[in-house]
């Protein structure tokens, strides 16, 4: 089963109205059966609006996105999304919302994710969410599964070259050292296919998770890029869906 860890459902995209059918069409084009859907990352992500738009669409798995800067409102929003709407995960955006993921501001949300057994997806490899910061969170919350969206240039290439790590750390090292950290590949898969090979040199393929970032990313390209890495059927199966299926308990 192909399972996408990160898609978004904005109300408009690229200057046009955008709906669940449009997102589904993108995923269909790449043969993706199920996909985690998040609300657009705004100051106050609209989880309730997303719930209404994906209701009755079993291929879509809701994931709550919240802004920890809103304090108790953020925690309440996460709880509501999980209990009332049946959302399965939590999305954090430390760079976009401007906070350190390893700071006190995010702690209440991570504690709630631990209590609820909800996987946490986060931006990574940039300000507020450097690999060293992800490592600190993973160490504090070993029971919380963290999917680090590495985007592009995940501070991973030197892993296989034997070079000293940068001060911010390398996400491949973090994933290797923390059983609860997974590398989520979005922009990476089709844009820098060679890095997949290098990451695989540092971590096992069951720590890699496919994501398209649709509709900004094109799922067809992501799947194509990943398949060109030629990792073999078993590794491909794990990356394209099996590992994520296990994380989400589907």
Residues near another protein, by CB under 8 A: 13-14, 95, 126-127, 151-153, 157, 160-162, 186-187, 190-195, 197-198, 213, 215-218, 221, 224-225, 228-230
Task: Enter the DSSP assignment of 63.
Answer: E
For another protein, the closer CB: 82 or 159: 159
Q: How far is the CB of 193 from another protein (least distance, A)?
A: 4
- The 3-state secondary structure of 142-210, one letter per residue: CCCCEEEECCCCCCCHHHHHCCCCCCCCCHHHHHHHCCCEEEEECHHHHHCHHHHHHHHCCCCHHHEEE
Name the pairing type of β-strands 208-210 and 181-185. parallel
| Residue 250 Cβ vs another protein, minimum distance, rounded to whole Å | 27
Beta strands in the chain (DSSP E): 3-8, 12-13, 16-17, 34-38, 60-65, 89-92, 120-123, 146-149, 181-185, 208-210
Quick one: tokens of 29?
């084009």
Report phi then psi at 13, rounded to 5.
Answer: -145, 135
> Of the two residues 121 and 186, which places its CB atom closer to another protein in the complex?
186
Min CB(211)–another protein separation in Å: 12
Of 86 and 201, nearer to another protein (C-beta) is: 201
**CA 140 from centroid of its chain's CA atoms:** 19
Which CB atom, from 129 or from 247, has the smaller least distance to another protein? 129
In the bound complex, what is the minimum distance in angstroms from residue 45's beta carbon to another protein?
Answer: 18
Cβ-based nearer residue to another protein, 33 or 194: 194
Assign 8 to helix, strand or coil.
strand
Q: How far is the CB of 128 from another protein (least distance, A)?
A: 10
């Amino acid at each position: 089963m192909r399972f996408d860890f990160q898609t978004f459902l904005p109300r408009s995209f690229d200057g046009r109205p955008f709906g669940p059918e449009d997102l589904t069409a993108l995923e269909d084009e790449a043969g993706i059966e199920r996909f985690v859907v998040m609300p657009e990352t705004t100051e106050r992500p609209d989880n309730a609006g997303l719930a209404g738009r994906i209701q009755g669409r079993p291929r879509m798995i809701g994931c709550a996105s919240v802004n920890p800067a809103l304090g108790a409102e953020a925690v309440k929003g996460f709880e509501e999304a999980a209990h009332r709407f049946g959302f399965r995960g939590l999305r954090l955006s430390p760079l976009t919302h401007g906070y350190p993921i390893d700071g006190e501001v995010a702690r209440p949300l991570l504690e709630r994710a631990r209590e609820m057994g909800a996987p946490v997806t986060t931006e990574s490899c940039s300000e507020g969410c450097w690999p060293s910061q992800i490592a600190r969170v993973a160490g504090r919350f070993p029971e919380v599964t963290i999917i680090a969206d590495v985007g592009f240039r995940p501070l991973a290439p030197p892993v296989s070259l034997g070079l000293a790590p940068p001060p911010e750390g390398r996400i491949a090292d973090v994933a290797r050292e923390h059983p609860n950290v997974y590398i989520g590949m979005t922009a990476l898969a089709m844009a820098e296919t060679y890095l997949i090979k290098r990451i695989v040199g540092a971590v096992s393929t069951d720590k890699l998770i496919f994501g398209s970032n649709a509709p900004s990313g094109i799922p067809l390209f992501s799947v194509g890029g990943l398949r060109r890495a030629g990792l073999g059927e078993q590794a491909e199966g794990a990356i394209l869906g099996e590992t994520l299926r296990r994380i989400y308990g589907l």
